[in-house]
């Protein structure tokens, strides 16, 4: 299997875990979406050198994994797949930023290392929250929630179609690259010129498919709006879900829970 | 309802690059008829099919579907009465689940929720795909995809079913099921295909296209038995009408 293919199928299987049988699966998609947004805002709002005070926020993804019955192994695998982006963003901080922040035992911590750790932690938190939203809700239910919350239709339709045709596109790319590989056994990857032609082929085929899909849509009365039928019922439990988690995020943001916990524990020991 | 359900009157069509795909096609298809549309690659079958729902409009000549001439203004009415099943089910099944896809047409017609539900359930049952309702299309087998694609147009209750290569990429058992399904429909059917055995099973009438013109139009048994005609159109008799390779040529 090619790497592209494994990426495609790994995304494919993400919302297989979505089921209404778990406590998290029963929460209204809109509630989970709003809570995820609140979580992301909370994660982003911390200062660049803050690492330890972010840690309590991990409770949210951990709770979702536990209550939503999501296998953590597959989640970790997906985090690894996208981690190069975060590594690339943070990698130069330790080299460029030498602001001394203090010592941690025998180690002198510089601002660069702290901000690098902060970026990585934030990456893990925010990406796992987004993945868990899809894994516990299902991609189409997230889209239905987005539509109900007033996100422009055209964006929602784009997302739906991206999810639907991602696999078709990945398959087409892997077919093309297989056709290349079979007829050029001495080369592991195409030269720039050939790569351009291959990409052009894929683009043309994608455009043709888009045209055929559009034809199929207008044949069945498509008028610019995709009507997704999802019964969304907002219950008291959903309000409680959003309210409790938001309150927790606010608490973590405004009080340094890690330090407080540390003091409490060392106080109890001492 | 008019007696002539589908009519082409001297239709010509050329693509923007100048390729003439249809060069004066005329025929009339009556209510309840089942018509096979056959011809070589590039004979104009797909172009002709795309004229029915008005995805392509003729360069000259007229197309009529039911009570409506196919023009830019009548497209909603035309498309309501005509169900088009595309060759690649991946083009047709674009919604997150099979159920959503079958509901897509009825929802666009603005039908009330319980009517949509009844139509979705009815269409899925008709093609034997009720159990696929919650499944995403990318997880279906070829035969299941085809059944779902047919259900997605049946739910709009069309008078006319138009199919492009319905048996392409199906294994023999799925193809056999498809044939049984098509035979059970009372709709007017237009089936473009290279599968002449399917035409023999499903269609009472056959239209042969050659270079954008109608080369023959008549009862299926007659047309598919005319070796000279078939040979000139890059076709051959359906396997069942050919002689047995062991016992020698058919008498």
| B239 alpha-carbon distance from chain centroid | 22
A91: left (phi over 0), alpha (psi -120 to 50) or beta: alpha
* Per-residue b or e along B65-76, where b marks 16 or more CB atoms closer than 10 Å to that residue's CB: bbebebeeebbe
| pLDDT exceeds 90 at position A126 | yes
Domain assignment of residue B251, yes or no: no
- pLDDT digits 0-9 by tens, B109-119: 889 999 999 99
Domain assignment of residue A269, yes or no: no
Distance CA B214, CA B140 (A): 37
Does residue B103 sit in the same domain as residue B149?
Answer: yes
Query: Which of A140, A216, A226, A230 is the mutation pick for testing B, counting most B CBs within 10 A?
Result: A216
Query: Which of B54, B55, B86, B96 is the mutation pick for testing A, counting most A CBs within 10 A?
Result: B96
Domain assignment of residue B249, yes or no: no
Domain housing B94:
90-157
Domain assignment of residue B129, yes or no: yes
Q: Over range B218-241, report the average pLDDT.
A: 91
Domain assignment of residue A198, yes or no: yes
Q: How many CB pairs under 8 A join A and B?
A: 80
Among the listed residues B137, B160, B164, B148, the one whose alpha carbon sits nearest the alpha carbon of residue B83: B160
Domain assignment of residue B174, yes or no: no
If one counts every other C-beta atom within 10 angstroms of the C-beta of residue A9, the result is 14
Domain assignment of residue A265, yes or no: no
Going by pLDDT thresholds of 50, 70 and 90, the confidence category of residue A226 is confident
Domain assignment of residue A255, yes or no: no
Strands B34-39 and B188-192: parallel
A-contacting residues in B 118-157 (Cβ below 8 Å): 137-138, 152-153, 156
Q: Does B60 touch chain A (CB under 8 A)?
A: no
Q: Over range A112-131, report the average pLDDT.
A: 91
Question: Looking at residue B196, which CATH number applies to its domain?
Answer: 3.40.50.300
Domain assignment of residue A247, yes or no: no
| Residue with the larger pLDDT of the pair A7 and B66 | B66
- pLDDT digits 0-9 by tens, A18-61: 666 788 888 999 999 999 999 999 999 988 888 888 899 999 99
> ipTM score of the complex?
0.85
Please return the burial class of A171, using the count of CB atoms within 10 Å of its CB with bins 0-12, 13-18 and 19+.
middle
Going by pLDDT thresholds of 50, 70 and 90, the confidence category of residue A163 is confident
| pLDDT exceeds 80 at position A12 | no
How far, in Å, are A30, A140, A224, B177 from residue A158 at the CA level? Answer: 19, 12, 12, 35
Domain assignment of residue B2, yes or no: yes
- pLDDT digits 0-9 by tens, B46-74: 999 999 999 999 999 999 998 899 999 99
Q: Does B116 touch chain A (CB under 8 A)?
A: yes
Does residue B15 sit in the same domain as residue B132?
Answer: no
Does residue B220 sit in the same domain as residue B147?
Answer: no
Query: Which of A18, A219, A225 is the mutation pick for testing B, counting most B CBs within 10 A?
Result: A219
Does residue B62 sit in the same domain as residue B109?
Answer: no
Domain housing A190:
3-240
User: In this predicted structure, what is the pLDDT of residue A153?
Assistant: 87
In chain B, the number of structural domains is 2
| B225 alpha-carbon distance from chain centroid | 22
In chain A, the number of structural domains is 1
Does residue B230 sit in the same domain as residue B131?
Answer: no
Domain assignment of residue A129, yes or no: yes
Does residue B165 sit in the same domain as residue B71?
Answer: yes
Does residue B153 sit in the same domain as residue B97?
Answer: yes
Q: Which residue has 């790994």 as its token pair?
A: A10
Does residue B77 sit in the same domain as residue B163?
Answer: yes
Domain assignment of residue A246, yes or no: no
Going by pLDDT thresholds of 50, 70 and 90, the confidence category of residue B251 is low
B109 CA to chain A: closest CA distance, Å?
A: 7
Q: Over range B143-151, report the average pLDDT.
A: 93
| pLDDT exceeds 70 at position B3 | no
């Amino acid at each position: 299997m090619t790497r592209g293919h494994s990426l495609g199928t790994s995304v494919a299987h993400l919302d297989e875990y979505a089921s209404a049988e778990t406590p998290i699966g029963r929460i209204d998609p809109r509630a989970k979406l709003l809570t995820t947004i609140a979580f992301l805002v909370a994660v982003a709002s911390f200062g660049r050198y803050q690492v330890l005070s972010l840690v309590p926020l991990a409770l949210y993804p951990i709770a979702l994994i536990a209550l939503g019955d999501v296998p953590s192994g597959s989640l970790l695998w997906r985090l690894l797949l996208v981690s190069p982006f975060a590594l690339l963003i943070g990698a130069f901080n330790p080299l460029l930023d030498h602001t001394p922040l203090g010592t941690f035992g025998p180690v002198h911590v510089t601002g660069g290392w702290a901000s690098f750790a902060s970026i990585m932690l934030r990456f893990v938190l925010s990406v796992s929250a987004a993945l868990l939203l899809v894994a516990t809700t299902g991609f189409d239910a997230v889209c239905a929630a987005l539509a109900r919350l007033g996100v422009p239709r055209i964006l929602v339709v784009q997302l739906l179609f991206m999810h639907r045709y991602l696999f078709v596109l990945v398959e087409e790319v892997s077919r093309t690259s297989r056709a290349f590989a079979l007829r050029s056994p001495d080369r592991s990857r195409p030269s720039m010129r050939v790569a351009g032609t291959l990409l052009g082929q894929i683009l043309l085929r994608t455009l043709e498919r888009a045209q055929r899909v559009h034809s199929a849509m207008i044949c069945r009365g498509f008028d610019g709006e995709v009507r997704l039928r999802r019964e969304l019922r907002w219950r008291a439990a959903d309000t409680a879900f959003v309210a409790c988690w938001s309150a927790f995020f606010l608490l973590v943001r405004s009080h340094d829970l890690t330090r407080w916990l540390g003091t409490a524990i060392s106080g109890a020991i001492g | 309802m008019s007696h002539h359900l589908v009519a082409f009157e001297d239709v010509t069509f050329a693509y923007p690059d100048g390729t003439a795909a249809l060069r004066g096609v005329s025929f009339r298809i009556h209510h309840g008829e089942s018509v096979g549309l056959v011809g070589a690659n590039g004979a104009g079958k797909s172009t002709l099919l795309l004229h029915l729902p008005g995805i392509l409009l003729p360069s000259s000549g007229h197309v009529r579907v039911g009570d409506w001439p196919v023009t830019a203004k009548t497209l909603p009415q035309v498309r309501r009465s005509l169900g088009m099943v595309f060759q690649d089910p991946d083009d047709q099944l674009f919604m997150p689940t099979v159920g959503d896809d079958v509901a897509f047409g009825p929802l666009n017609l603005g039908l009330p929720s319980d009517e949509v539900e009844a139509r979705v359930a009815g269409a899925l049952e008709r093609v034997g795909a009720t159990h696929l309702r919650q499944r995403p299309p990318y997880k279906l087998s070829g035969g299941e995809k085809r059944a779902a694609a047919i259900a997605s147009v049946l739910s709009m209750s069309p008078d006319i079913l138009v199919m492009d290569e319905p048996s392409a990429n199906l294994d023999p058992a799925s193809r056999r099921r498809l044939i049984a399904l098509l035979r059970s429909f009372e709709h007017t059917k237009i089936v473009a295909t290279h599968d002449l055995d399917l035409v023999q099973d499903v269609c009472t009438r056959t239209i042969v296209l050659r270079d954008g013109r109608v080369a023959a139009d008549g009862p299926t048994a007659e047309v598919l038995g005319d070796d000279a005609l078939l040979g000139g159109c890059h076709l051959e008799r359906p396997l069942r009408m050919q002689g047995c390779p062991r016992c020698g040529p058919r008498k």
